[in-house]
Amino acid sequence: MSDKNPLARLSDYGQSVWYDNIHRQLLEDGTLERYIREDDLRGLTSNPSIFEKAVAGGEHYDADLKALLAERPKAAARDLFYALAIEDIRRAADHFRPVYEASGGRDGMVSLEISPDLAHEPVASVEEAIALHQRVDRPNLMIKVPATPEGLPVIEALISQGIHVNATLLFSVDRYLATAEAFINGLKARQKRGLPISGIHSVASFFVSRVDNALDPLLADKAPELQGKMAIYNAKRAYARYRERFAAPDFQELRSKGAAPQRLLWASTGVKNPAYRDTLYLETLIGEDTVTTVPPATYEAFRDHGRVAPTLTQGLDEAEEQWRRLEGLGIDTRATLDTLERDGVAAFEKSFANLLTAIENKAEHIVRAA
């Protein structure tokens, strides 16, 4: 019996654990260092909702905000936010730098998302991503890009520039495959320019629990035995496609030149239905060449009582069969997953707007009090 806790044991099965949270206290009180040391934590993800809670939800950033306003009293809220966020991202990246180096760049990554209000503007998204990459100035930064139709060319462009990318808000297998193509095409474009393709890393963040949230009500009368299972089946289908696509000859040729595959990352792993086991989505998706990013409550729960076994490749044929069954039940899965994508983009846009409003309010208060 291993003396490692369940989180630390996931690496025995080829899965990396990243933390789906960031805030100033985590970076300053030794918690992040402890997670890296005790839990084999290998990366960190952030998003607009996480930053909204961190910056707007307390006083940890007020001193830095006051200092920024002393230098630039008329700074826009967006500029103030990125000044605060980039400081956090840099510090987190520095914590993970030893992990990054020890893993040859495979892990130790910290993700920062481009502004959600640019989700429908590919050119502006690429420009901002490059600017953020330069400002953070850390080799283990991943730029997070929504894998929407407008986001796919952004992903390809950034990979071709040699920038690590976290392609996020993936719900459907079809969109995942398009994301994998964008990644591969970015490598091919870079190779055509005679540039190295080794050392460029990407993950495709495939969302899990939100799928059950959307499908469970539709299954309540038609097939209640499938409730709490379809999100897992959907993720397993994506993993089967991952193995097929990155085993194809064109990628194997790239791999011979040093390219690394774009790993699947399980996102939205917190259980939202209290009737389900609180570690459900972690325990059922453990497998090689994957990442799981875990929110705080689920992280603590899995460390305490998570069950570790190689579950991801179990029942791949069943996953395909049960997913096809939904069509026979009259459930439009394409429409459901498209709605989840649109709602995801809108939710991040709202969080970002709320965040900027909160910073504006804090800034006004600080300037008036000065």
Provide the annotated active-site residues.
144
Strands 202-207 and 165-170: parallel
Pick from 105, 65, 92, 99: nearest CA to 81: 65
Question: ∠ CA(98), CA(99), CA(105), 5° rounding?
Answer: 105
Packed helices 62-71 and 333-369: angle between N→C axes, nearest 10 degrees: 70
What is the 8-class DSSP label of residue 57?
A: T
3-state helix, strand, coil in the chain (%, to 5): 60, 10, 30
Question: Could you tell me the two tokens for 103?
Answer: 């893993």
For the purposes of burial, counting CB atoms within 10 Å of the CB of 319, is it exposed (0-12), middle (13-18) or buried (19 or more)?
buried
Q: Quick check: 276 and 228 in contact, CB under 8 A?
A: yes
For β-strands 290-294 and 263-267, DSSP reports them as parallel
SS3 293: strand
Report the DSSP beta bridge partners of residue 111: 142
Find all residues with CB under 8 Å of 292, minimum gap 6, and list them. Answer: 10, 15, 16, 17, 18, 265, 266, 269, 282, 285, 286
Least Cα distance to 198 among 245, 141, 255 occurs for 255
Q: Residue 14 corresponds to which amino acid? A: G
Query: Taking a C-beta distance cutoff of 8 angstroms, is the pair 317, 307 a contact?
Result: no
> Positive or negative, the Cα torsion across 337, 343, 348, 351?
negative
Burial category of 151 from C-beta neighbours within 10 Å (exposed 0-12, middle 13-18, buried 19 and up): buried
